[in-house]
Structure 1
Amino acid sequence: MADPIPVPVGILRLPRGPDSSGSRGFSCNPRNFQNPHNSQNSQDFHNSQDVQNSRAELRARFLRLLSSARGRPARFSLWNGLELRAEFGAADVHTGAFQVDSLQTPLGIQGSALLRCGDVLEFSFPLE
């Protein structure tokens, strides 16, 4: 009996983390923490209601977009470089997935599928 042919395994390269100076998004300085009880940051604390209102409005817009997108053709770009086309179905916030119909993949067309949000880099609705 012949030995099985080894299957090549791809290498997963993770993004580099922040360096010790904190220049890549993380600060090593604990004084940058915004404490609402600190008089210096009290103005930021009062403006947080404005920030919360803005975020609520953006979330409402996004949810209206998703509800009006049902049945429209969509294009999904995945992190691995694949571009997929499908008919948008729905988005599940709790499990983090997009439900699509007629998913066009390099291997063929799937009647329906779930795309994990973590795999999707971006999605759009092309004007056709």
Structure 2
Amino acid sequence: MMGFFVVSDLSSPLTRRYESKPKRGNYHNMATVFIPTPLRRLTGGQSKVEATAASVLAVIGELDAAFPGLRDRLLDEQGEVKRFINIFVNDDEIRTLHGKDTAIGPNDRISIVPAMAGGC
């Protein structure tokens, strides 16, 4: 998909021409991991970070290497994703795919979503 930006034609202040320009995007073959607000204190306030690992489990390891303590917030003592944590690869929850072994490709979006509790 192409975006557009305005380029002023210097020969006439009233004329403008439009040139196409690629929209900003993730063109460097890295997955983007979206960090929920409760975990951002571990990432220095970053709402999204990039990862190059090939599976969800490897991404969690990569994130923990960069941001110590993140793994403990996402995985239990057996190394399984905690039941109140949902992880999506693109729009699919990993439990409906291959769990923590779900493959990650370039430009995938990984969303970490903690379950919410409460009610009336």
Give me the TM-score of the superposition, normalised by structure 1.
0.29
Which is richer in helix? Answer: 1
Higher relative contact order (CA 8 A, sep 6+): 2
Give me the TM-score of the superposition, normalised by structure 2.
0.30
